[in-house]
Structure 1
Amino acid sequence: MVTLNDYLYSGDTVLKILQRYHNDLKEDAMKTKNGVDIIHCNFLLQLTELLEHNDFLTSQSQRLREFYKYMSNEYPFLAFAFKGRIKSLIRAEEKFNGNIVEHVYDYYGKNHAFPSVTELKQEMGPIRDLIAYRIVISMPACHLKDGENRDEIELKYLYKIANELPGFLEEMGFSAEIYGIPGKDPSDMITETLRPYYRDYIKNPSPYGYRSLHITFYDNQSRSYLEVQIRTKQMDDYAEIGPAHHLGYEKRQDEERSRRDTVPSGECTYFDEAYERGMLLQGLDLSKLDVNMFGAVNNQLVNDGCGLYRGRLILPYEHLSRFQNDIID
């Protein structure tokens, strides 16, 4: 079995690692007639092309910047940041293999059989968050009126911004995708016609407390998907440096192990290989890796200059609220 881990100790660049991994995986897939590995190769090719030909991101980020400028004019009292990133190689690989494990597990639980390659391909679909932008808002204490609750005020503006975003980006060449959380309705604060488009993890937090508002767009100019996340600074802290970050990792490991216990070993090659690849990535000691422009003291102290472990930044725009920075351009 070919794994990404095999290529992380050579001193190569991320792009070279991707190319070598793709080529070797494809060669092995052709020999073993492994249809899921062919799908995997196509995914790696998509990620490679994104890194090789990312000039479109300049245009994309500039069009998104127009909404940043709109917010600066409409909500000068808010502090907010726009962040963009391309999903890191390790996270992208984890997600692809995790999706296989999840879909095979769900299918087996319902049918006591394993899905065909065609069924698996249809279930998985494209990964829509390889490119993601995040809008983080905060209401400075100096702009709160007596008796106002900061959390309530921030939520009010968060959902107001969410209601304005799809229509604004539609004019910039983006189309919102219907991609909600199955069986979970978003907040009533979202306009009714927009509710099918939003995944509301604020009203429906994850089991480990993650809260955010997500929406997926298709960029008609670059013909690519992107995800926009909207959250408050408190939610962002909880996700990035709080319990959601650590508990989510631990819960993911527990879920993977429970799925391994449920699906009989040796009966589904697709599941077995995806599970093993995921476990190998989760067990990485980052300090031992040898990848160009990457360094780590341990799995917390990481200096990633290549997008191996942490996403590659596309844009950082910051608006520190009125009286702190008044110049937008």
Structure 2
Amino acid sequence: MITLNDYLYSGDTIFRILRNYTVDLKKEAKKNHNEIDLIHSNFLIQFRELLEHNDFLTAQSQKIRDFYKYMVQEYPLLAFTFKGRIKSLIRAEEKFNGYIVEYIYDYYEKHHTYPPVPDLREKLSCFRDIIAYRLVISLPKCHIRDDKLREEEEIKYLYRIANVLPGFLEERGFTAEPAKGVLESTSPFMDEAVKPYYRDYISNGSGGSYQSLHITFYDNCSRSYMEVQLRTKKMDDIAEIGAANHQAYEKEQERVRARREAIPEGECIYFDEAYERGMRLLGLELKDLEVNMFAAVNNSLINDGCGLYRGRLILPYEHLSRFQTDLND
């Protein structure tokens, strides 16, 4: 069985690693008539093309920048940041194999048999966040002193922005993707016309501490998907450094993807291979990897200049509210 780990100690660039891994994986998939590995190799080809070709990212980021400029004019009281990233190679590989493991495990527990390959293939066609942008807004205290009132006003602003975003980007070559009823908004501030496109982690009463609005677009120019997340600064703090931080989310994912007691080894090659690839990635010692432009002191101190681990930042913009410099009054 071929795994990404086999290529991470070569000293090659991330592009050469991806190419070699993809070519070898596809050869083995054809030899063994493994449909899922063929999908896997095609997924990696698409991912490599996103990393290698910058033209469409430049064009895409320019369109996002247009919305940034619109917000500067339309919301002068707000401070906000726009950032975009391409998912890192290790995270993308973890997610692909994790989808296989989770889906087969849950299906087997429910039906006591393995899912048909077409069902699994459909599950693996749902990658929508290889490219993702995040908008974080804040209403500075110089405008509203009361914390509760300011938080309520920020949420109203967030939904106002959410109502405008789909139409704005559709005029620039994007198509909003339906969320298919997943976490559909119950907020009175969200327009009925855009509700079908958002997954609303704020108003739907899921009960978790994570809050955000998520929407997916198809970029008709690059023929790729991108996800946009909208949050207030408080929501972003909770998601990044608070109770809903990504490290806790990753730990839960690791727990779910480490389950295998219900699946007898050797019965389902798709599960066995995805499980093994995932476990090997979890065991990576980043300081031992030899990838050009990548260096890690340990698994916490990471300097990733090539999108191997943390991802590649493609759009950093920050706007300060007008009059924000008048805070010291």
TM range (shorter): over 0.9
1:190-223 Cα offsets, whole Å, 9 max, x none, are 2122111111122358786332111000111222
Q: Which runs of 5+ in 1 are unaligned?
A: none
1:30-57 Cα offsets, whole Å, 9 max, x none, are 2222111111010011111112223111
Q: Assess if the C-alpha contact under 8 Å between 2:184 and 2:198 holds in 1.
A: no
Equivalent position amino acid for 2:266 in 1: G
Equivalent position amino acid for 1:20 in 2: N
For residues 28 and 281 of structure 1, what CA distance do their matches in structure 2 show? 20
For residues 132 and 71 of structure 1, what CA distance do their matches in structure 2 show? 19
Name the SS of the counterpart of 1:141 in structure 2: coil
In structure 1, what is the equivalent of residue 186 of structure 2?
A: 187
Q: Size of the alignment, in residue pairs?
A: 323
For residues 206 and 252 of structure 2, what CA distance do their matches in structure 1 show? 11
C-alpha distance 148-53 of structure 1, shift in aligned 2 (>3 A):
same
In structure 1, what is the equivalent of residue 302 of structure 2?
A: 302
For residues 318 and 247 of structure 2, what CA distance do their matches in structure 1 show? 27
Name the SS of the counterpart of 1:6 in structure 2: helix
Equivalent position amino acid for 2:184 in 1: D
1:127-184 Cα offsets, whole Å, 9 max, x none, are 11111111011111111155752321211111111111111111111110002563x3
User: How much does 1:72 deviate?
Assistant: 0.6
User: How much does 1:295 deviate?
Assistant: 1.1
For residues 311 and 34 of structure 1, what CA distance do their matches in structure 2 show? 29
Q: Are residue 70 (structure 1) and residue 70 (structure 2) matched?
A: yes
In structure 1, what is the equivalent of residue 248 of structure 2?
A: 247
What TM-score do the two structures reach when normalised by structure 2?
0.92
Q: Are residue 225 (structure 1) and residue 225 (structure 2) matched?
A: yes
For residues 306 and 147 of structure 2, what CA distance do their matches in structure 1 show? 47
Q: Are residue 128 (structure 1) and residue 128 (structure 2) matched?
A: yes
State percent identity of aligned pairs.
Answer: 63
C-alpha distance 263-151 of structure 1, shift in aligned 2 (>3 A):
farther
Q: Assess if the C-alpha contact under 8 Å between 1:180 and 1:198 holds in 2.
A: no
Q: Which runs of 4+ in 1 moved over 4 A?
A: 145-148, 204-208
Name the SS of the counterpart of 2:134 in structure 1: strand
What is the Cα-based RMSD across aligned positions, in Å?
1.9
In structure 2, what is the equivalent of residue 12 of structure 1?
A: 12
In structure 2, what is the equivalent of residue 237 of structure 1?
A: 237
User: How much does 1:280 deviate?
Assistant: 1.6
Please, which moves more after superposition, 235-244 or 247-256?
235-244
Name the SS of the counterpart of 1:156 in structure 2: helix
For residues 198 and 261 of structure 2, what CA distance do their matches in structure 1 show? 34
C-alpha distance 239-286 of structure 1, shift in aligned 2 (>3 A):
farther
For residues 283 and 239 of structure 1, what CA distance do their matches in structure 2 show? 25
For residues 211 and 308 of structure 1, what CA distance do their matches in structure 2 show? 28
In structure 1, what is the equivalent of residue 318 of structure 2?
A: 318
C-alpha distance 271-220 of structure 1, shift in aligned 2 (>3 A):
same
Q: Assess if the C-alpha contact under 8 Å between 1:238 and 1:245 holds in 2.
A: no
Equivalent position amino acid for 1:212 in 2: S
